[in-house]
Amino acid sequence: MQKKTIVVLVIVGIIIFIALSIFGWATGVYNSLVQLDVSVNGAWAQVQNQYQRRADLIPNLVETVRGYAAHESQVFTDVAEARASVGKIQLTPEMLNDPQTFQKFEQAQAGLSSALTRLLAVAENYPQLKANENFLQLQSQLEGTENRIAVERRRFNEVVQEYNVKIRTIPASLIAGMMGFHEKAFFQAEPGAEKAPKVKF
């Protein structure tokens, strides 16, 4: 009887040890997925931070240019509309799982970038504006912001790549599937960006 009891206790001990090992492993994988998910959300917050900085600069830039180029009203209207369309789409971390919403957000940001490019092109036609210190400072800040946006988007894509690889590889994919972790969308180049622009003189 004692021998059977010892055998049963050993088997129960082995089962408990295996169960605790599996639980510890699953907990570790889950925690690493949570850390990566939080990293993606943090990287996204940095992208939004730079977009907000750009949106805050735009009214000052528009007003400075407007003072010199009052008859270019369509450009000012386009910039205002593009800025408003960007403001309508508030992309939350949860929405990063929805490629269609993410694409709408990207399109709105691309529209704003295009409108700003047209605004700066108008400014090129006014030599006295190009020499204006306020305009030069705003233009420099905007260029710096565009660079920061590019850097933060690259960092975001790097974090998303690490996260997406983790949730798609075994064994983490087993835990990711059970716990509701989904792939995140990447920032992508605008359509046609792969073609070199034509320069005419």
Q: What is the dihedral of CA 170, 174, 175, 180, to 10 degrees?
A: 120
Q: Could you tell me if residue 89 is inside a domain?
A: yes
Q: Could you tell me if residue 141 is inside a domain?
A: yes
User: Is the bond preceding residue 93 a cis peptide, omega within 30 degrees?
Assistant: no
Full-model pTM: 0.62
CATH number at residue 131: 1.20.1440.20
Q: Could you tell me if residue 72 is inside a domain?
A: yes
Count other Cβ atoms within 10 Å, centred on residue 66.
Answer: 16
Q: Could you tell me if residue 186 is inside a domain?
A: no
CA distance 104 to 157: 17
The DSSP symbol for 97 reads G
Q: Could you tell me if residue 149 is inside a domain?
A: yes
Kindly report, residue by residue over 157-174, the tens digit of the pLDDT.
899 999 989 988 888 888
Q: Could you tell me if residue 155 is inside a domain?
A: yes
Whole-number CA gyration radius for the chain:
26
Domain of 143, in residue numbers: 29-179
Report how many domains make up the chain: 1
Kindly report, residue by residue over 96-149, the tens digit of the pLDDT.
777 777 777 787 887 778 777 777 777 666 666 566 666 677 778 878 888 888
Q: Could you tell me if residue 110 is inside a domain?
A: yes
Q: Could you tell me if residue 85 is inside a domain?
A: yes
Continuous H helices in 69-171: 73-88, 99-124, 127-130, 133-168
Tokens at 112, concatenated: 């704003």
CA distance 47 to 150: 9
